[in-house]
Chain A
Amino acid sequence: EDQVTQSPEALRLQEGESSSLNCSYTVSGLRGLFWYRQDPGKGPEFLFTLYSAGEEKEKERLKATLTKKESFLHITAPKPEDSATYLCAVQFRGYQKVTFGTGTKLQVIP
């Protein structure tokens, strides 16, 4: 069964301390990988789409990268407002549905 695994489950950073979140998936063929941010009490908010290995996308302090087996969300010099749960989702080849990982809860301390 195709699966999406995120690590770590939770991450606590000091403001300005850069780090990376990981999303790995079973290699049965990828059509698209999506990163979302979710704030408490709200629905996930779209950040990036990646389609092929080697692709990179950036937005402010966030940068998403993709290899054949995993994706990373790099957070450079985070601020407290970056605190949220970050979700990775995958559309596997041959399927229309989008499967989500369980997320990484990020806390950035001032």
Chain B
Amino acid sequence: DARVTQTPRHKVTEMGQEVTMRCQPILGHNTVFWYRQTMMQGLELLAYFRNRAPLDDSGMPKDRFSAEMPDATLATLKIQPSEPRDSAVYFCASGLVTGGLYNSPLHFGNGTRLTVT
């Protein structure tokens, strides 16, 4: 089965450090999402891309978060500088959208658990 791959699985860092999370979407999927999951807020949408172009990043704190897709096989989420409130599990998901409809459901990676001390 094709899978979304996220690295690293766990990251512990100190406040103020830069954090980079990576995602390899499923080959052939044209839409990539970044979500953040916490106990209090559940799954929050941070940003998403269609054919590598950013469509919406309104869920991200713009001053410290950035998301990019350097190529079709790699999506990155960076936090600089990191803060303790950024501690959460970050999920990447990919899907195939045609004409605004999801031809395939979103498939999720197993997440990056980030702890900022």
The chain A residues found within 8 Å of chain B, CB to CB, are 31-32, 34, 36, 41-46, 49, 87, 89, 91, 96-103
Contact = CB atoms under 8 A, between A and B. Distances in A.
A96 B42 contact: no
Given A96-B48, A97-B48, A97-B56, A103 B105 contact: no
A98 B49 CA distance: 12
B110 A46 contact: no
B45 interface: yes
Q: Name the residue in A36, A87, A98, A103 with the highest tally of chain B Cβ atoms < 10 Å from its Cβ.
A: A98
Contacts of A98: 33, 45, 102, 106
The A interface is mostly helix, strand or loop, or mixed, namely strand
A43 B111 contact: yes
Contacts of B31: 96
A96 B4 contact: no
Main secondary structure of the interface of B (DSSP, over half): strand
Contact of A43 (B55, B100, B101, B109): B109
From A42, A43, A100, A103, residue with most partner B Cβ within 10 Å: A43
Contacts, number: 56
Task: Using C-beta atoms within 8 Å of the partner chain, give the interface range for chain B.
Answer: 20 to 34
* Listed residue (B50, B105, B108) with the most chain A CB atoms within 10 angstroms of its CB: B105
A88 to B, nearest CB: 11
Interface string B1-41: 00010000000000000000000000000010101000001
A85 to B, nearest CB: 10
B77 interface: no
Given A96-B55, A98-B33, A91 B102 contact: yes
